Chains A and B, each alone.
Chain A
Amino acid sequence: MYTLEAQDISKSYGGVRALDRAAIAVRPGSVHALLGENGAGKSTLVKIMTGAIRPDSGVLRLDGADVRFASTADAFRQGVGVVSQELSLFPHLSVLANMFPMREPRRGPFVDRREMLRLAVPILDELGLEVDPMVPVSRLPLAERQLVEIGKALVTKPRVLLLDEPTSALESGATDRLLHILRVLRSQDVAVVFVSHILEEVMSVCDEITVLRDGVVVTAGEDVGAHTVESVVSAMIGDRPRVVVRPSGRALAEQAVATTTSGLRVDGVTLHRTVQDVSFAVEPGEIVGLAGLAGSGPAELLRALAGIESPVRGTISLPGGIKAPHGQRAHIAAGVAYVSGDRRRLGLMLDKPVWENVVQVRTMAMGKDGAFLRVPGLVTRAGEHMSRLNIRASSPEATAGSLSGGNQQKVVLAKWLDNTPSTIVLDDPTRGVDIGAKAEIHGLLGDLAAAGAVVVLRSTDLEELVAVCERVIVLYRGRICAELRGDGLSTSALLQLMNTGELAPEGSQAPAS
């Protein structure tokens, strides 16, 4: 007996077939992984199963009976909760109000705030979200907004819970807490659908696996025991060659960066309330990681490097020995790129075509292509970026909002490379990107560095830091507590340092310079 079943679901957008007779069936007390490359149709299937969009054809069954959800609110009422990939919070409302959208508990005509707190606080605690429930959501960083979104789904005590890349913005601690919650839900007979690109995490928690490829189910609800990360990846990509060869890689990178002689220098920088007296340098050709828990400073330090925040004390000098100018725009003009994982808010214009997003920085903001623009040339240039980064969209004229999440993230990267930066600052640049594309982007970062760029990376995915960076600077409570490199650089060492500020004796630890 299945709790929620989708059968023969097809959905097309214009000429793009997002789903072709796809199906998935979720059992109570089971975590069902829904996997596939960027653009395979996972989110589309999740949206159809929760009433956000209607399929062209196909049926949904809840407890064996045909259902049709008029909206996600309707689905919620019938016990089907969803955490969607793109957050749907009201930015100006408080965390608490966002937990009960349109369904606040009431006492007579009034909203019952006490009851709301009683329901919400334990869930927020369980998720490890330590914020005042009354602060407006717009003030929270992406990771915390993501937790609010999850809390919002949990608070309704759903019988079916669908999570579309809930962990893409989370740090490892928060991810572990979420996985724990999923295990608890499973023991309470909840049916869970879990979408993620981090396969290790998926394999550790799920019971069954469904894989989509180009909108078609290629692995239908098989037992996880029968699979390995390898076999899942093969299912996802089919018979395409495994290793992506990018003959143009080096050449592209050389076009994409402005070379400099000297590197980025951070000298005794103190930021308002977070970072204390931090110094380090990144030479051209290096990829340096920044690690640290939320609040201990890495994100703020990146913002300072991008000129969004000015240091209270200390100086930053950009490659080529330029003293950091004032303000974000001047930094961009001086060759800094700030690639954000918060693509919906800071990265993209969802209602604009992909090409306009790609050329935004260089052509519009910096005005490097003159005062009179010829659109066809811009579209062609954007198209070139799209094929280099393997951005899947029907054409450069497709609106950015119609791309799958991972492809949107690549558009953000493309628009910064379009401006030939010399310093590339990345904050979770592969959020929601599938493993194939992630490897491509990692390769690209390597090429960009090799071509002479200064690359600084922060990531919630510690594996990514270990895989990509030559060395990682760890911040603990606003100060540099260690710098890991070579053999000393591992996720376990990073975790220890991030959480405690020190490393157990046997680790090879390089003290802060």
Chain B
Amino acid sequence: MSTKIDERRPEAAPRRAGVGTVVRKVFGADWSSAAIALVGLIVVVGLLRPEFLSFTQLSNVAQQSVYVALMASGLAFLITQGEVDLSVGGTYVLSAVATAILIQNGLDPWLAAICGLLLAVAVGALNSVVVLGIRINSLIATLAMGWVLRGLSAAISGGRQIIGMPIDHPFFTILGGGEILNVAVSVWILVLVVAVLTVVLRATPFGFRVREIGSNEDAAQFAGIPVRRTKATAFLMSGFIAGIAGLLGLAFFTSGDPTSGNGFELFAVAGAVIGGNPLTGGRATVFGAAIGAVLLNAVSIALVYFNIPAVWSQFATGLIIISAVSVDGIRRHRRSPQDA
């Protein structure tokens, strides 16, 4: 009877690692739409405005996208499980402002940064208590948490920018102004985070659990996966990564601004989704999430290149989000069997 299995093996099964398979693999990957769109955008803008293609300009795009891309990478772990964290923007602001205040009061910037990170993780812990303990829908709970955090940041800073940072300190010169191989240190940190998280997602039981919970939460529970613990861990990670983003922001702008980071959470969520982390859950890609976020940022920067007024830029960004998500939805629809 085991020969039956062989009889029914589809002809396409043999694994030849030719150019064709590589191409198919790339185009079949979850993150391919966003990556193709990003490359396309850069090429189109570059053809019309060649100065956009300069290395400085492109690394500027990358550098400005780091914060949102980091948050999107962390969100990949939540969105897959059918949860979301809309407090990442607030966490970004709070960790930057709180760290700035500590530095202003004479604490060593590195120590202050550690405090800022701990604070961000504490926000993640609070989120998981509210969402998993009190069982409030994460959309509402973290949206409200985002307001709480921004309000708190404004309160502790008196609504003003926290300035007077010791900008010669390595915290600012390395994380804010440093470059390795002509690329900003913050971009390298993004690359590192994406690489580490990708390994976590693809090669650890935690990464598999995250996606399996998204596929079928009841079955995951029945198989013995600690669903609540897994979700709580993802909230902590999301907070931690938003904290890293906040510190990088502080190092770059050398001030803690309670009004910064507007709309970051939406860019991060939208970036993660168009990068291949569907809101229906079950699948995840950290790389895609980061690419999606960079894409959205690149779009708004490109719009500036064409002298499009700021009011229309928001309009255009919204349109692009909608079309990117639709293209993804249509492709997926076509790829999946008719009756899954």
Residues of A whose CB lies within 8 Å of any CB of B are 13-16, 47, 52-54, 240, 244, 328-329, 332-333, 338, 340, 345-352, 356, 360-361, 363-367, 369, 371-375, 386-387, 390-395, 399, 401-402, 415
Contacts and interface: CB of A to CB of B under 8 A. Distances in A.
From A333, A373, A374, name the one whose CB has the most chain B CB atoms within 10 angstroms.
A373
A176 B323 CA distance: 54
From B2, B209, B215, B282, name the one whose CB has the most chain A CB atoms within 10 angstroms.
B215
B168 interface: no
A102 B45 CA distance: 48
B23 interface: no
A332 B224 contact: yes
Nearest to B221: A328
Contact of A387 (B5, B220, B340): B5
Nearest to A18: B8
Contacts of A391: 5
A373 B212 CA distance: 15
A83 to B, nearest CB: 15
Contact of B212 (A47, A338, A346, A352): A352
A114 B1 CA distance: 55
Given A53-B338, A352-B215, A372 B224 contact: no
4 interchain residue pairs of minimum CB distance: A15-B10, A349-B215, A365-B224, A332-B224
Contacts of B205: 363-365, 367, 369, 371, 373
B223 A364 contact: yes
A343 to B, nearest CB: 9
Given A356-B208, A373-B203, A386-B5, A14 B222 contact: no
Nearest to A12: B10
Contact of B209 (A47, A364, A369, A390): A364
Contacts of B9: 15, 394-395
A349 B219 contact: yes
Contacts of A415: 223
Contact of B12 (A14, A52, A356, A366): A14
Interface string B205-244: 1001101100110111111111000000000000000000
17 contacts: A15-B8, A52-B339, A329-B226, A332-B223, A348-B219, A349-B212, A349-B219, A352-B282, A364-B225, A365-B224, A371-B204, A371-B205, A372-B203, A387-B2, A401-B337, A402-B340, A415-B223
Contacts of A349: 212, 215-216, 219-220, 282
B332 to A, nearest CB: 11
Interface of B: 1-2, 4-5, 8-13, 203-205, 208-209, 211-212, 215-216, 218-226, 282-283, 337-340
From B9, B216, B226, name the one whose CB has the most chain A CB atoms within 10 angstroms.
B216
Given A13-B337, A47-B339, A240-B1, A365 B223 contact: yes
A47 B11 CA distance: 25
Contacts of A366: 224
Contacts of B225: 329, 360, 364-365
B23 to A, nearest CB: 19
Contact of A328 (B5, B11, B224, B338): B224
A61 B8 CA distance: 30
From A340, A346, A365, A395, name the one whose CB has the most chain B CB atoms within 10 angstroms.
A365
Given A350-B340, A373-B203, A392-B8, 13 more contacts: A15-B8, A15-B11, A15-B12, A47-B339, A360-B225, A361-B223, A363-B208, A364-B209, A366-B224, A371-B205, A387-B2, A391-B5, A394-B10
A371 B204 CA distance: 5
Contact of B215 (A15, A346, A351, A374): A351
B30 to A, nearest CB: 13
Contacts of A348: 216, 219
Nearest to A343: B219
Contacts of B10: 14-16, 394-395
A360 B221 CA distance: 11
Nearest to B340: A401
Contacts of A351: 215, 282-283, 340
B11 A244 contact: no
Contacts of A338: 222
Contact of B8 (A53, A350, A352, A394): A394
Nearest to A241: B1
A349 B218 CA distance: 10
A257 B140 CA distance: 46
Contact of B222 (A53, A340, A387): A340
A39 to B, nearest CB: 8
A52 B225 CA distance: 34
A367 B203 CA distance: 12
A394 B13 contact: yes
A14 B203 CA distance: 28
A314 to B, nearest CB: 24
Contacts of B1: 240, 244, 390
Contacts of A399: 340
Contacts of A47: 339
B223 A402 contact: no
B12 A346 contact: no
B186 to A, nearest CB: 28
Contacts of B222: 328, 338, 340, 346-347
A347 B219 contact: yes
A364 B205 CA distance: 5
Nearest to A244: B1
Nearest to A436: B1
A87 to B, nearest CB: 14
A437 to B, nearest CB: 10
Contacts of A340: 222
Nearest to B11: A15
Contacts of B339: 47, 52-53
A16 B221 CA distance: 32
Given A15-B10, A365-B209, A387-B2, A346 B218 contact: yes
A345 B203 CA distance: 26
Contacts of A13: 337
A190 to B, nearest CB: 25
B18 to A, nearest CB: 18
B173 to A, nearest CB: 36
Contact of B208 (A16, A345, A364, A394): A364
Contacts of B337: 13, 401-402
Given A52-B339, A415-B223, A373 B5 contact: no
A350 B218 CA distance: 12
A371 B200 CA distance: 9
Contacts of A394: 8-10, 13
Nearest to B4: A392
A350 B216 contact: yes
From B12, B208, B212, name the one whose CB has the most chain A CB atoms within 10 angstroms.
B208
A356 B5 CA distance: 18
A16 B215 contact: no
Nearest to A419: B224
A361 B212 CA distance: 11
A244 B215 CA distance: 35
A391 B340 CA distance: 19
